[in-house]
Chain A
Amino acid sequence: MKYFRNLILIETNESSIQKGSKEIFQALKKELMNKDLTDEINVLETGSLGLFGEGVCAVVYPDNIVYCNLTLDDIPELIEEHFVKGRVLTRLVMKKTVRNDIPLGYEKRIVLKNSGVINPENINDYLGVQGYEAWEHALLKKKPEEIVEIVKASGLRGRGGAGFPCGLKWSFTSSIESENKHVVINADEGEPGTFKDRLIMEGDPHKLLEGTMITSYAVGAHTAYIYIRGEYKLCIERLQKAIKQAYDYGLLGKNIFDTGYNLDVYLRIGAGAYVCGEETALIESMEGNRGNPRNKPPYPGQAGFQQYPTVVNNVETVTNIPSIILKGADWYKNIGTPESPGTKVFTILGDVDVPGLCEVEMGTTLRTIINRYGGGMKQGSRFKAALVVEQQVYSSLMRCSM
């Protein structure tokens, strides 16, 4: 194995790509080659660092320095200063103090722990951060019922908006005897201003996949579908890669880890319909119909996709599962509030100083989110209103002239 002196991670997601992150990635590689540094310094792409409005960002490890607003012209200087002379190029260092210790340590991250830290397109990176350990542990050491009990005890609630207890939902389906069961992951995120699921999928697709696998095993399903909206091109691309890698490594497919358990995961792509975020409409869409919601009952847990029992979970919900399995229900229960344990991913936008992404403990007030994580209001702006969408997922602050 090769060791590198420094690791540069370039943020690549849909927002940074249109600001030129792909070109900057190439330019960095080229410059390192010119300076003959490719054996010492590695440059990789990673998920969101949680900063918006700061242009193309990159983080340098182990120094843990975040550079922002990078342009192609900066690259030679950056390489020369930081990597040849060993001086931090202060001109480009992230100035806003509130988040100068990102991406590690500031927030309590579970779901987004690896986003901005690993290369989402490489399964080995994920394996290096205890990836798929929970899957192995679940499959080899636990019975499906035990996993349902752990998740029940953890108190994890659905992150799609309704907040239904996840373990309870699973228990409805796991107790049914059926020749066929399905798991569907709802990644049809369409609420205006909400894009946490996109950032999760772009930043750490393998974690979603691992959560999906454990969910399927727990409820006794042998097929799982991830339904993504058609507009999320990068998510689709990264998840396709992740699924392929998981098959190649024998984490999916037939007789996984010689346990006799089979599981296939498929991607399903939406075609542009907001209502398909509703679980029964989503199932209709998967069956090749118009996305009209069904009458309930029966609930999908009893009769869902192709009338088989189907568990439908949100992306963020299942991304919590691997950590719960590894660290236990008690650990999870101690985070957040007693009624709603765990963390929640927020996107903060509008006239705040540092628009961005954060993952905070449940029970954190809107004031803290805006003032601490959003850096407070922009200079010259006064707080007027917050638009909080889908259970406090998004807050937008309207400008108020002074």
Chain B
Amino acid sequence: MYKDICQKYTPTKDNLIYILHDIQDSHPQNYVSEEAVEEVADYLKIPVNHIYGVLTFYTMYSTKPRGKYVIRLCESPPCYLRGSTNILKKLKELLKIKAGETTTNGLFTLELCACLGLCGNAPVMMINNDFYGDLNDGKVENIINKLQETEV
């Protein structure tokens, strides 16, 4: 089922990162499954464990199913200085999960990440491809509520 994605690229190892990106983006649960890894290994003629090594090295990939919305909160010093720990507390409270976990309804995954390069708007988080900056408790609540509403 991942054949189409693989075949967009020539079967050389240096395309591995891009194939994995595409596979992950195409999956509704935002992750790279075991069967996908095997298909890619077949296509690129490289061992499964090499792919697994790559998948677990880079923070943008996941080998576990994730929520529809992947929240990535920056935990670097510029955000920390402007209260990212409070934002983390608020997110945990709202979603009732810890960092690294997914909500039971499969909507949200909470992750911590390194500097997103938007320090002018610290504290910052990224939800899928969108950035949200100058966060405070109220703003976070609004963002999460809005996303939740669109799903109802």
> Which A residues are closer than 8 A to B by beta carbons?
14-15, 17-19, 52-53, 189-195, 198, 230-233, 268-274, 285-291, 306, 347, 349-350, 355-356, 387, 394, 396, 398
Contacts and interface: CB of A to CB of B under 8 A. Distances in A.
Contacts of B77: 192-193, 387, 396
B118 A195 contact: yes
Contacts, number: 111
Contacts of B12: 288
B10 to A, nearest CB: 12
Contacts of A289: 13, 50, 54
Given A273-B59, A290-B53, A15 B17 contact: no
B116 interface: yes
B59 A52 contact: no
B78 interface: yes
A394 B119 contact: yes
Interface residues of B, number: 38
B115 interface: yes
Given A18-B133, A192-B115, A273-B59, A290 B54 contact: yes
5 contacts: A190-B114, A291-B58, A349-B78, A387-B77, A396-B77
Contacts of A286: 14
Interface in B104-148: 113-122, 126, 129-133
B61 interface: yes
A271 B119 contact: no
B63 interface: no
B20 A271 contact: yes
Contact of B121 (A18, A191, A285): A18
B68 interface: no
B76 interface: yes
Given A230-B21, A288-B17, A349 B119 contact: yes
A273 B55 CA distance: 11
Given A18-B133, A189-B117, A387-B77, 15 more contacts: A14-B118, A15-B133, A18-B131, A52-B120, A191-B115, A193-B115, A194-B115, A198-B117, A268-B17, A271-B21, A273-B57, A285-B17, A288-B14, A347-B119, A394-B119
